[in-house]
């Protein structure tokens, strides 16, 4: 999506007259039915080259607060309906968003996790202290077998994060062999003894997490040296092929990514990037602001902060391009999302936050950005699946609700593995005080059946946005749509009112030839399907 610019060479299939009208309209003030200036865009439906990996719609589950315990794991004896200890309602909900990949066991927890403590009979597993997250006792009831069972129940791929910060090379080597080797070795036989005859497929393996911080406080040079050593022993066994993921930067740290790209190069299949956003608060404890009690200043601040994902991707990719011009190494944004103060009255260190229409619009923007940079962004994992940070699912004992963010993921499933379509966008600003951001955010794709999907976000919480969209290279015959919006910015789902924010049918569009016009409600996410 390119803002406020158009290609210099007109596309062949759009008539000259149409282009002239389009450009002239873009240059002069042209109010639409709402009295607002019309936003204009061109979708190059015949210029799609890159596939949007479904892994961009990935998730992350850490041993943190109630993400794994209660969120997924309730135990076989629980009164909450479960399959081998994993709650059924959560699995069913996540299947609706076609969860493609799940990252586990951390996060910061990964670099203090010793996997051998989490196998064998549950009553014999040793307990450890979860020093990062609330100083609670980790029972190790949920370990490798339970996680792989969860992935099988969800029908998703496994992304394991290994321990570099406090683990040994041998421990990492053993884990990979335990999970994936089919032959006659101590590790493979131990797996069999613990109930799993055949090895699992483990496609993604992270060599450490945030090793510039909670994963060992290393310099990039130190980490690159360790990465090269550890990854040597992350081997492919019995037909399993692992994409090795090196630890990348947290938000802006170009020295880190440059050093890793330079010193690791082809020993990795991907490098990670973490990017959390907030409103007008600071990153201090209890200073990030409330998830649900905020005003327009905070709304605007989140929209502005969320849009930083565009230059962040562009700049990191430019560095990757220097060392990997063949585009072989993927950028995995394997932690991202909003981060608010913990809900009052909840356990400190558990990072439990509510989730409003503001989070939903932020999520739509992030996903549009990942779609746009899909030539390099091959995976992204929102933090985190249940009860932690920008969650899909909130639970309270046996009760379960889905969040506005869940609905965005569900609406965007249409982009999974589709071909990204380039978009030129000329958006008006959503102005707040002396500041402003583009009001409309968008991405588009074409799926295998030829259906074009456009996902729009209207960042303006007050005004609708009229959009005129030229479809270069296509003349679809029909349109259908869905919208996620709410009366107020702070709208959210609760256990008492679980359906305050949910998708509805959307009909506010018109198709004439290859020009689509639509009016996006204020503070909304809209997905249109054109056939
Ligand atoms: O997602 C919460 C934490 O944020 C993760 O454990 C860590 O990797 C990041 O700092």
Task: Give dist(CA 119, CA 256) in Å, integer.
Answer: 35
What pLDDT digit, counting tens, does each position of 361-395 carry? 999 999 999 999 999 999 999 999 999 999 999 99
Compute the distance from residue 383 Cα to the ligand 1 centre, in Å. Answer: 8
Average pLDDT over residues 230-234: 98
- pLDDT band of residue 33 (cuts 50, 70, 90) is low
Q: Look up the CATH superfamily of 54-417.
A: Glycosidases (3.20.20.80)
Question: For residues 321 and 373, is the Cβ–Cβ distance under 8 A?
Answer: no
- Helix, coil or strand: residue 130: strand
Model pLDDT, residue 4: 45
Residue nearest to atom 5 of ligand 1 (CA): 107
What pLDDT digit, counting tens, does each position of 408-455 carry? 999 999 999 999 999 999 999 999 999 999 999 999 999 999 999 999
What pLDDT digit, counting tens, does each position of 342-351 carry? 999 999 999 9
Task: Give dist(CA 106, CA 209) in Å, integer.
Answer: 8
Model pLDDT, residue 350: 97
- pLDDT band of residue 10 (cuts 50, 70, 90) is very low
Task: Give dist(CA 405, CA 98) in Å, integer.
Answer: 14
152 tagged catalytic: no
Residue nearest to atom 7 of ligand 1 (CA): 107
Compute the distance from residue 431 Cα to the ligand 1 centre, in Å. Answer: 33
Out of 70, 210, 342, 410, the active site residue is 210
210 tagged catalytic: yes
- Residue 167: both structure tokens together: 């683990």
What pLDDT digit, counting tens, does each position of 72-124 carry? 999 999 999 999 999 999 999 999 999 999 999 999 999 999 999 999 999 99
Ligand 1: residues within 6 Å at CB?
Answer: 62, 106-108, 209-210, 335, 383-384, 389
Paired residues of 504 in beta bridges: 483
End-to-end CA distance of the chain: 22
Compute the distance from residue 381 Cα to the ligand 1 centre, in Å. Answer: 12
What pLDDT digit, counting tens, does each position of 507-522 carry? 999 999 999 999 999 9
Instruction: Tell the residue number behind the tokens 């709410």, with chain if given.
Output: 486
Q: Look up the CATH superfamily of 4-50+431-530.
A: Golgi alpha-mannosidase II (2.60.40.1180)
- Helix, coil or strand: residue 231: helix
Residue nearest to atom 4 of ligand 1 (CA): 107
- Helix, coil or strand: residue 523: coil
Instruction: Please state whether the predicted TM-score (pTM) of the whole model is above 0.85.
Output: yes
Q: Where in the chain is the domain with CATH 2.60.40.1180?
A: 4-50+431-530
pLDDT surpasses 70 at 477: yes
Q: Where in the chain is the domain with CATH 3.20.20.80?
A: 54-417
- Helix, coil or strand: residue 508: coil
The b-or-e profile of 188-227 (16+ CB within 10 A means b, else e) is bebbeeeebeebbbbebbbbbbbbbebbbebebeebbebb
Contacting residues for 306 by C-beta, under 8 A, at least 6 apart: 277, 362, 365, 366
Mean pLDDT (the chain) is: 94
Question: For residues 439 and 428, is the Cβ–Cβ distance under 8 A?
Answer: yes
């Amino acid at each position: 999506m390119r803002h406020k610019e158009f290609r210099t060479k007109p596309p062949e299939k759009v008539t000259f007259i149409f282009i002239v009208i389009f450009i002239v309209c873009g240059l002069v003030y042209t109010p639409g039915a709402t009295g607002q200036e019309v936003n204009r865009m061109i979708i190059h439906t015949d210029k799609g080259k890159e596939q949007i990996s479904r892994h961009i719609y990935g998730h992350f589950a850490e041993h943190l607060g109630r993400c794994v315990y209660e969120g997924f794991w309730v135990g076989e004896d629980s009164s909450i309906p479960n399959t081998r200890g994993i709650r059924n309602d959560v699995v069913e909900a996540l299947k609706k968003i076609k969860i493609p990949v799940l990252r586990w066991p951390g996060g910061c927890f990964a670099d203090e996790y010793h996997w051998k403590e989490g196998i064998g009979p549950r009553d014999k597993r040793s307990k450890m202290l979860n020093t990062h997250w609330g100083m609670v006792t980790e029972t190790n009831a949920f370990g490798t077998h339970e996680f792989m069972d969860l992935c099988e129940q969800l029908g998703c791929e496994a992304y394991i994060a290994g321990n570099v910060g406090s683990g040994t090379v041998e421990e990492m080597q053993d884990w990979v062999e335990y999970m994936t080797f089919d032959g006659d070795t101590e590790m493979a036989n131990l797996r069999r003894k613990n109930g799993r005859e055949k090895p699992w497929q483990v496609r993604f393996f992270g060599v450490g997490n945030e090793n510039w911080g909670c994963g060992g406080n290393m310099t990039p040079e130190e980490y690159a040296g360790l990465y090269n050593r550890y990854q040597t022993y992350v081997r492919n066994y019995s037909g399993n092929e692992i994409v090795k993921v090196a630890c990348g930067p947290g938000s802006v740290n170009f020295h880190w990514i440059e050093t890793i790209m330079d010193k690791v190069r082809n020993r990795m299949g991907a490098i990670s990037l973490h990017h959390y956003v907030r409103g007008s608060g600071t990153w201090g404890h209890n200073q990030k602001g409330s998830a649900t009690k905020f005003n327009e200043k905070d709304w605007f601040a989140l929209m502005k902060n969320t849009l930083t994902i565009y230059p962040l991707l562009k700049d990191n990719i430019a560095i990757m391009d220097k060392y990997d011009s063949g585009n072989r190494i993927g950028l995995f944004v394997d932690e991202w999302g909003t981060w608010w103060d913990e809900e009052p009255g909840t356990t400190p260190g558990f990072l439990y936050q509510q989730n409003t229409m503001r989070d939903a619009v932020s999520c739509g923007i992030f996903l549009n950005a990942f779609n746009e940079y899909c030539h390099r962004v091959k995976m992204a994992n929102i933090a985190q699946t249940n009860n932690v940070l920008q969650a899909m699912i909130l639970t309270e004992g046996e009760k379960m609700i889905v969040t506005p963010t869940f609905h965005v993921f569900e609406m965007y499933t249409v982009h999974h593995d589709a071909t990204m379509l380039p978009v030129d966008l000329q958006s008006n600003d959503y102005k707040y005080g002396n500041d402003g951001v583009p009001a409309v955010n968008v991405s588009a794709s074409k799926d295998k059946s030829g259906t074009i999907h456009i996902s729009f976000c209207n960042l303006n919480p007050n005004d609708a946005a009229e959009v005129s969209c030229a479809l270069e290279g296509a003349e679809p015959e029909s349109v259908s749509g869905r919208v996620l919006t709410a009366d107020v910015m702070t709208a959210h789902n609760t256990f008492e009112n679980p359906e305050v924010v949910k998708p509805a049918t959307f009909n506010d569009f018109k198709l004439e030839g290859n020009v689509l016009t639509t009016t996006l409600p204020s503070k909304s996410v809209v997905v249109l399907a054109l056939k």
